Structure 1
Amino acid sequence: MFAKKNSAMPDKITMISIVWTAMIAVMMTATVTLYNDKSDTAPTNYTEMTGTYQGVSYY
């Protein structure tokens, strides 16, 4: 009744799943690679800014 096509081309859902999985894998690899060398040994190039609050009435 239902004949299965012998096609070398996978269906759309399979292709979308493969592309989506590959894209997620590439993004995760890029994230790990970019943030891998960000460690505590790197010198900080910013000044710490602190502030205080004094509750003084002006009236």
Structure 2
Amino acid sequence: MDKNRTEGAGKQAKGGVKEAAGKAVGNKRLEAEGKLDKATGKVHSAVGKAKDRERDKQKY
């Protein structure tokens, strides 16, 4: 598994926590940071998946 996938999953989780905390305390900035982290994590995961697919193609 590519490191981008693991980094992406971590960022998505961190973003979810930040977003939930921001909503809970009414902090719009924290909520926005969480949404940004989640989006960044999704991009990292997508890049990692693409790298994994390419690596798998080269094996066969």
TM-score relative to the length of structure 2: 0.47
Please tell me whether Structure 1 or Structure 2 has the larger radius of gyration of its CA atoms.
1
Which one has the bigger helix percentage? 2
Q: TM-score, normalization: structure 1?
A: 0.48
